[in-house]
Structure 1
Amino acid sequence: MQPLAYRMRPTNIDEVVGQQHLVGPGKIIRRMVDAKMLSSMILYGPPGTGKTSIASAIAGSTHYAFRMLNAATDSKKDLQIVAEEAKMSGTVILLLDEIHRLDKTKQDFLLPHLENGRIILIGATTENPYISINPAIRSRTQIFEVKPLAENDIKVAIERALKDKTRGLGESPVHLNDTAETFLTQATNGDLRSALNGLELAVKSTPATDGKINITLPIIEECVQRKAVSNDKNGDAHYDVISAFQKSIRGSDVNAALHYMGRLIEAGDLPSIARRLMVIAYEDIGLGNPQACARTVSAVQAAEKLGFPEARIPLADAVIDLALSPKSNSGIVAIDAALEDIRAGKAGEVPDQLRDAHYKGAAKLNRGVGYKFPHDYPNDWVKQQYLPDRLKQATYYQPKTNGKYEKALAEQYQRLLAAQRH
């Protein structure tokens, strides 16, 4: 029997879950389908994120024949059969999985068919096509990145599968409790195939009680082979772990920080780790070590591309870097102080010399008159008022001196303040 994930593949573009940057209203693949002007493409991204589903949906929406082959295991003869079908019946959409493993013989056979449009190739790969795919194929295709599904996308697919009586589990009296459903949307890390197959295993292996198949958190944990390490029914434990994670980095305890991130990794919660690390970098380290902030962004981007389990490596590097970096929260303190004045009604008018003066008649309104262009003066600085009159003595930035970089900024800041007020 075909797995649930296979049976629930979309039959048209409207049924695609997630990937709205490609199939949403007005987006590129949706436009191709609506106009029936398909071009060959390569879809790349992590497993279970919808590459095959998009190909199936395109075929269903356009009513073209749809065939699936694997570049690694299917032969040139299999490609020839698809090409013959295209000659006889018209356009065929060919989903070629693992396209990065397409050898030269198969590639040379395919190229003329792509050129004349008889075969619309949709290549699927988890590898970066700019590195792993031959330029001859790459130049004849458009390349689209397929992203891990959001928790809400997976929830939509799960609920659709539970209701569908033809392709899904709608004929079974399933009750999936809220905790189990939330965990299923999180633990599979954006992989819809794993979520649906785990759900199906849970349903088929759980006996009914009082006419209901009750799917609980322990059952889902067993079926997806992942433990809800940081989750509880109300989500309190999950947020406690995230809080402890940030506070451990802020407190420079690298071992505790790695421990709490390990719990989040075991829960499969890459989105929370990624978001929290970038917040920590700029909120708690900030100007104490700006280079660490940039490195953290790069590490998060690498982790999101890699997915688990490999994502743990750049994430661990970032945690160690941040925990052992000099700390400074002067940035968040400064902007919050400025916002506090603004929200208290202390904004004031922009000084005339700073106002927009690019239009005719501005000078008659005294706009821009008297503005001193700093680059015309020694050291590219000249004394003049920038803040509104009622706030001209305000100071929001209170520098820390834990790191060399901010210590240098603090010295420059004090020199400029003194010169401005002299």
Structure 2
Amino acid sequence: MRPRNIDEIVGQQHIIGKQTSLYKMIQNGYVPSILLYGPPGVGKTSIARAIAGTVDRPFEAVNATTAGKKDLEDAVENAKAEGNLILFIDEIHRFNKLQQDYLLPHVERGLITLIGATTENPFHDVNPAIRSRCGQIKELKPLSPQDLEELLWRALSDKERGLGKMAIDISAEAIQLIARSTNGDARSALNVLEEVVQASKINGSESITVQIEFVKECVENKGFSHDKKGDLYYSLLSCLQKSIRGSDVSASLHYLARLLEGGDLTSICRRLLVIAYEDIGLAAPEVGVHTVSAIEAVERLGLPEARIPLANIVIEQCLSPKSNSAYKAIDLAIEDVKKGEVYEIPMHLRDAHYKGAAVLGHGISYKYPHDYPNSWVKQQYLPEELKDKQYYVPKENGHEKHFSKVFERLEYLKKQ
């Protein structure tokens, strides 16, 4: 059921629709080197083959997980013999430097037009040398339910490549269920359709009536995608943090559920601990302690029970007041240090716990705060060049209101 030309492509209209520059280039017979990335089953290979079919150019496909230098040498020889070759490389981020170095000059000279496909973010995982040769870097999206419905009905009616030769009775409800339950994955949707048709066959009968119960059974868990350690995986962790930061309980629980289905408790716990101090911080300091307690419970319980303390702490984090003032403050201090803003430590603060320290002037005139009312006394702690620097700017959220008042009082006393 792969499209034979770009007009047969279902979905991805933002990339290959009739109004796009890529569509017009291909219709005019010009194919640029392209990088296609996106989750499995959204049409990366199909688009590459459809492009080759449209311009009627020689096409060769290799998979970078199994291809060696010999496969590339063969492709180059074929390109020399047949003319400009479209070389499709699946999982292109798997190529090693030797393979890339061999291929790149042939791409530069125009002997080979490269179409690379990857499930990973090319800006993270594809070598810059490959990226620089690809004038077009396109992200494919999961197909919409409407796109998948169109594809499924097409498969049912296609007598040459699909199921059109069979007398199949299937309801629109069943097609919609398949389309909604396969997470925008065309390959998965077509597989489910084939499965339910085969399950509905009755010996001796030429007609096939698809039962909705078979569809429900076959689509179970088909819509779940986790892509552990891939682009989607990190996006889920990012969505969890941003939803907690935005105090959206339902969204936070949704992304937590998706991460839990992936089973990586370590990354979930690490991210929640970061959130407790990065996003909640001094507005609710107790949340850090509660998060550590929840993590300890998770480590003892494991799945599936671990979901319970995780749900508790995620909801608490969502509904807690938020402040990023502490981490912003340390980042400003680190930025100054990296810029070389490091000066002589004041003599009165230097270590004086050894014989001879006084001779060096260390610790002389240091004022011990506990000897003064409220355990505070005015003296300079920062180097002279930074004495007026202020890194921490308190917020008026939650418990930090208290810190804000104390901070303002201290700053006032310093100026007296």
TM-score (norm 1): 0.54
What is residue 184 of structure 1 aligned with on the other side?
Answer: 178
Q: Which of 207, 212, 216 matches 1:212?
A: 207
Q: Which residue pairs with 2:221 in the alignment? A: 226
Instruction: Give the one of 122, 141, 144 matched to 1:150.
Output: 144
* 2:89 is the counterpart of 1:96: yes
Cα distance in 1 for partners of 2:69, 2:99 equals 5
> Is residue 2:112 matched to residue 1:119?
yes
- Give the conservation status (yes or no) of the 8 Å contact 2:48–2:115: yes
Residue type matched to 2:33 in 1? Answer: S
Q: Is the 8 A contact 1:32 1:38 kept in 2?
A: yes
Residue 47 of structure 1 deviates from its aligned partner by 0.5
Q: Which amino acid is 2:41 matched to?
A: G
Find out whether 1:131 has 2:120 as its counterpart.
no
| Residue type at the aligned position of 1:151 | P
Question: Would you say 1:164 and 2:147 are equivalent positions?
Answer: no
In 2 relative to 1, CA 40–257 (structure 1 residues): closer, same or farther, beyond 3 Å?
closer
Distance 1:197 1:317, change over 3 A: farther
**What displacement does 1:262 show?**
5.7
Distance 2:192 2:155 in 1: 12
- Verify: 1:173 aligned to 2:190, yes or no: no
AA aligned to 2:213 is P
* Matching residue of 1:203: 197
**2:46 is the counterpart of 1:53:** yes
Determine whether 1:18 maps to 2:30. Answer: no
Question: 5+ unaligned residues in a row in structure 2: which ranges?
Answer: 224-243, 262-306, 322-395, 402-416
Deviation, 1:79, is 1.1
Amino acid at match of 1:76: K
Measure the CA separation in 2 of the matches of 1:109 and 1:256.
47
From the CA coordinates, give the structure whose radius of gyration is larger. 2
1:84 maps to a residue whose letter is E
Secondary structure of the equivalent of 1:171? coil
Equivalent-residue separation in structure 1 for 2:116 and 2:251 (angstroms): 43
- Give runs of aligned pairs for residues 307-322 of structure 1, distance below 5 A: 320=315
- C-alpha distance in 2, partners of 1:256/1:147? 21
Q: Shift in Å at residue 325 of structure 1? A: 5.8
Residues 284-329 of structure 1: per-residue CA shift (max 9 Å, x gap): xxxxxxxxxxxxxxxxxxxxxxxxxxxx9xx989973796368xxx
Partner of 1:387: none
Q: Which moved more, 1:170-179 or 1:254-263?
A: 254-263
Q: Which moved more, 1:215-224 or 1:12-21?
A: 215-224
**Which residues of 2 match residues 332-371 of structure 1 at below 5 A?**
none
Q: 1:200 to 1:150 in 2, by over 3 A?
A: same
Secondary structure, counterpart of 1:139 in structure 2: helix
TM-score where L is the length of structure 2:
0.55
Partner of 1:236: none
Question: Using the alignment, how far apart are the partners of 1:48 and 1:87 within structure 2?
Answer: 32
For residues 316 and 23 of structure 1, the distance between their equivalents in structure 2, rounded to whole angstroms, comes to 42
- Tell me if the contact between 1:221 and 1:227 (Cα under 8 Å) persists in the aligned partners: no
Q: 1:162 to 1:120 in 2, by over 3 A?
A: same
How far has the Cα of 1:254 moved from its partner?
6.3
**Structure 1 residues 253 and 108 mapped into 2: Cα distance closer, same or farther (>3 Å)?**
closer
Distance of aligned partners of 1:11 and 1:324 in 2 relative to their CA distance in 1, 3 Å threshold: same
Q: Between Structure 1 and Structure 2, how many residues are aligned? A: 259
Distance 1:177 1:79, change over 3 A: same
SS class of match (2:67): coil
Cα distance in 1 between the residues matched to 2:21 and 2:316: 40
SS in 1 for 2:39: coil
Distance 1:325 1:9 in 2: 51
Cα RMSD, aligned residues only: 3.9
* SS of alignment partner, residue 133 of structure 2: coil
Alignment CA distance shift 1:23-1:115 (3 Å): same
Work out whether 1:70 is the aligned partner of 2:73. Answer: no
**Shift of the alpha carbon at 1:120?**
1.1
Distance 1:214 1:64 in 2: 42
CA-CA distance at 1:221 after TM superposition: 2.6
Report the Cα distance in structure 1 between the residues aligned to 2:255 and 2:126, rounded to whole angstroms.
39
Cα gap change, 1:317 to 1:213, in 2 (>3 Å): farther
Alignment-mate amino acid for residue 224 of structure 1 = V
Measure, in 2, the Cα distance between the counterparts of 1:10 and 1:317: 48
Letter paired with 1:10: P
The residue identity in structure 1 corresponding to 2:144 is A
In the alignment, the residues of structure 2 paired with residue 256 and residue 85 of structure 1 have an alpha-carbon distance, to the nearest angstrom, of 52
| 8 Å CA contact 1:95, 1:123 repeated in 2 | yes
Q: Using a 3 Å threshold, how does the CA distance of structure 1 residues 119 and 182 change in structure 2: closer, same or farther?
A: same
Partners of 1:177 and 1:214 within 8 A in 2? no
Query: Following the alignment from structure 1 to structure 2, what is the Cα–Cα distance between the partners of residues 253 and 111?
Result: 47
